Structure 1
Amino acid sequence: MAEGTPRIVVVGGGFAGFYALRHLHRHLAPEQAELVLVNPTDYLLYSPLLPEVATGVIEARHIAVSLRRALPRVRLVLGHVTGADLAARTVTVTSAPASGPREVHQEHWDRLVLVPGSVTRQFDIPGVAEHARGLKTLVEAVYLRDHLMHQLDAADAEPDTEEGRARRRERLTVVAVGAGYTGTEFVAQTQRWLRTIERRWNRTGTEDIRWILVDVAPTVLPELGPELGRLALDLLHDRGVDVRLGVSVASADARSVTLT
């Protein structure tokens, strides 16, 4: 890149960052601007389909779009921005290589676009960070699928004793917090998926799983309006989901969750 060429640094490779860079990629010639993307992964995650990955409907690779392939002129910097100096026009990038210590360096910018995306909110609720799992990344989606399968396998193998039945009930209880798009779809899709594979277990069927969907809001899917929200709520009730609205999580531990 020629000296003096303006550098545009975009922080975040989600939808906003990706489309901003694609627009710049199309409308600015290489000599007009150097394009830099700082992102923790080398792919754009199509997050609306994470519930489908968590339920095995879609393979993880099908919702990961290669940033290098889609944006060939963009220099991709893998890492997290941990600081910004507006006066010096630099951002601090911290990366975690596969081996060795973390690496920290500065990236200079002439124009800065901050679209880092979102993370799962935990609200400092006791035990949530240690014992709950989000659904924001591919790793979390695959983990949830594998964890659910493990719990079902373990529940099916529990002995028919008082203690074994108690452990079985725990393993077969799923609490999803958040009745928006992700939480509602995760519960509905997972139920449907497990129904197609329940023959793999000898003593456990989908009717044995207790589903609890919790949200502090007064309706499910509030983004869609009251009419569609009521239809979704009726569908969940018909499927046996215990929907608790106006309720939040007070605390969680390794074996239980306390609701308000």
Structure 2
Amino acid sequence: MVKERARILVVGGGYVGMYTALRLQHRMKREIARDELEITVVTPDPYMTYQPFLPEAAAGAISPRHVVVPLRRVLGRCRVIAGEVTRIDHARRTATLTTPATQEKGGTETLTYDELVLAPGSVSRTLPIPGLLDYGIGFKTVEEAIGLRNHVIEQMDIASSTRDPAIRDAALTFVFVGGGYAGVEALGELEDMARYAARYYHNLKPEDMKWILVEASDRILPEVGEEMGRYTVTQLRRRNIQVLLGTRLESCADRVAHLSDGQRFPTRTVVWTAGVKPHPLLAATDLPRDERGRLKCTAELTVEGVAHAWSAGDAAAVPDVTAAEPGALTAPNAQHAVRQAKVLADNIAHALRGEPLERYAHKYVGSVASLGLHKGVAQVYGRRLKGYPAWFMHRAYHLSRVPTFNRKARVLAEWTLAGLFKREIVSLGSLEHPRAEFELAAGGKHPLDPNINPKGSS
């Protein structure tokens, strides 16, 4: 039984943050009802993004609203704050954060806590490549996924409406950097969508488009094994997708992708999916980190050598007690993050009740990846699957893992309807500039083209 009112601060609303708070509010609902426990979740976005569905959202197979889970709905017994923690002083049990309200005044807010769950996740790992900041497109959030879909269709519109071969070639060249899950699945789904959409353009053919995957190492999809990685390369190349292994992007300045093998590709699309790094917040704490910037954690998911601090997921270096080799760490993926969150929540409950803690021990069961509609690869419990069976397992697995029955039912309904009707090929890029039409009507310049004068004068 919790003797005094305990304040738990959960930083981050991703896999670890949401699942930890969700399990805590169920495990300790009596303490919450008696006002003996308060759970506060601070996250920049008041929703959890189920990232494995981002490629299908980009391809139009799933509505973007169904890729996210609203935290205020599922965390009804928790206090959810839309904001960003910028500094943590664990010695004083304080966290400094900014919210939309404090940003307007240029100030900050301070929260105090008794137990800290630090799970801000990761951010894209970028390199100082010329032009990347100006022209690169990420693929980590639902906004980026939908923006990329709109961008690809817009490039097809540009190519269809011009007779300039240079503009047309650049518009129809799509470069993806990074051969991990995000890059390969996004490329596979979007190429599938664009190839289908090409049938509705009178002057475009699938062969007119160039899809290029650039990977610095000598293999792609290392999570599914070397054999499945080679199979994936073969399948992508059969779809006329160039897979360039052992190659790096050296520059994309002036909308030209310069590769380390000497090739140059004029392009209007460079998608950067070359890995992630720990969230910058970790460096703004007084907690111990490893050489890669992640929090040093124990198998009980406590921060090493620190009381009342917990972590898991991408932000944490968690020992893999099931591995044969000493010093092995769990992989930073969704499979471990979801399972770690449950153990983390249970251990916080144990700690508050004076009970012994549990160790996190989960053996990695395998991986699944989609390469487009009815195409995929999988390695699960040592068994290798290819093509349709792997694609079906990919959908079945992730449908079972997406949070809440509401989201499961909506995603399943969308998949069912997609099997009965044709794909949507509409670009809603104007959503990114909702005031453009009004500003034009009000006498301003069009925000997308500074050369347009709405009053008609030259």
Q: Same fold (TM over 0.5)?
A: yes
CA RMSD of aligned residues (A): 1.6
Provide, for residues 60-109 of structure 1, a one-character-per-residue CA deviation record: whole Å limited to 9, x for no partner.
Answer: 00111111111101101111111111222111111235994555211111
Aligned residues: 253
Distance between the aligned counterparts of 1:84 and 1:49, measured in 2? 32
Given residue 238 of structure 2, which amino acid in structure 1 is its aligned partner? Answer: D
Distance across 2 between alignment mates of 1:97 and 1:174: 40
CA distance in 2, matches of 1:194, 1:154: 14
1:122–1:129 contact (8 Å) kept in structure 2: no
Q: Which residue of 2 aligns with 1:23?
A: 23
CA distance in 1, matches of 2:147, 2:171: 16
- Structure 1 Cα separation of the partners of residues 237 and 197 of structure 2: 22
Instruction: Pick closer, same or farther for the CA change 1:134–1:101 going to 2, 3 Å.
Output: farther
In 1, the alpha carbon distance for the partners of 2:105 and 2:238 equals: 52
Quote how far apart the aligned CAs of 1:124 are. Answer: 2.5
Matched, 1:190 2:194: no
Structure 1 counterpart of 2:131: 127
Task: Give the 3 Å change call, closer, same or farther, for CA 203–102 of structure 1 in structure 2.
Answer: farther
**What secondary structure sits across from 1:41 in the alignment?**
coil
Matches for 1:1-260 after TM superposition, within 5 Å: 5-28=5-28, 29-30=31-32, 31-96=35-100, 100-159=104-163, 164-260=164-260
Q: Secondary structure at the match of 1:202?
A: coil
The answer to whether the 8 Å contact 2:153/2:194 transfers is: no
Distance apart, 1:173 and its partner CA: 0.4
**Rounded Cα–Cα distance in structure 1 between residues aligned with 2:195 and 2:151:** 17
AA matched with 2:65: R
The match for 2:334 is none
Structure 1 equivalent of residue 426 of structure 2: none
CA distance in 2, matches of 1:84, 1:147: 38
Secondary structure at the counterpart of residue 91 of structure 2:
coil
CA–CA separation in structure 2 for the residues paired with 1:138 and 1:101: 29
Aligned residue identity for 2:119: V
Q: Structure 2 vs 1, CA of residues 102 and 140 (structure 1 numbering), >3 Å: closer, same or farther?
A: farther
Whether the aligned pair in 2 keeps the contact of 1:133 and 1:140 (CA below 8 Å) is: yes
1:33/1:101 CA distance change after superposition, 3 Å: same
Amino acid corresponding to residue 170 of structure 1 in structure 2: A
C-alpha contact 1:89 1:108 (8 A) present in aligned 2: yes
- Deviates further, 111-120 or 247-256: 247-256
Structure 2 Cα separation of the partners of residues 85 and 253 of structure 1:
41
What TM-score do you get using the length of structure 2 for normalisation? 0.53
Shift of 1:167: 1.2
Gapped regions of structure 2 (runs ≥ 5): 261-458
CA distance in 2, matches of 1:104, 1:98: 6
CA apart distance, 1:254: 3.8
Greater C-alpha radius of gyration: 2
Aligned AA (1:114): L
Unaligned stretches of 5+ in structure 1? none
Q: Residue 155 of structure 1 aligns to which amino acid in structure 2? A: A
| Residue-by-residue CA offset, 1:208-250 (whole Å, 9 max, x unaligned) | 1101101112111111110111111110010011111111221
CA contact (8 A) 1:95 1:103 kept: no
Is the 1:57–1:193 Cα contact (8 Å) retained in structure 2? no
Name the % identity: 38
Residues 102 and 109 of structure 2 are in contact (CA less than 8 Å); yes or no, is this contact kept in structure 1?
no
Residue identity matched to 1:49: F
User: What whole-Å deviation, never above 9, does each CA across 1:14-60 have from its counterpart, x for those lacking one?
Assistant: 11111111121111120332101010111110011111111211110
Counterparts of 1:27 and 1:248, CA distance in 2: 48
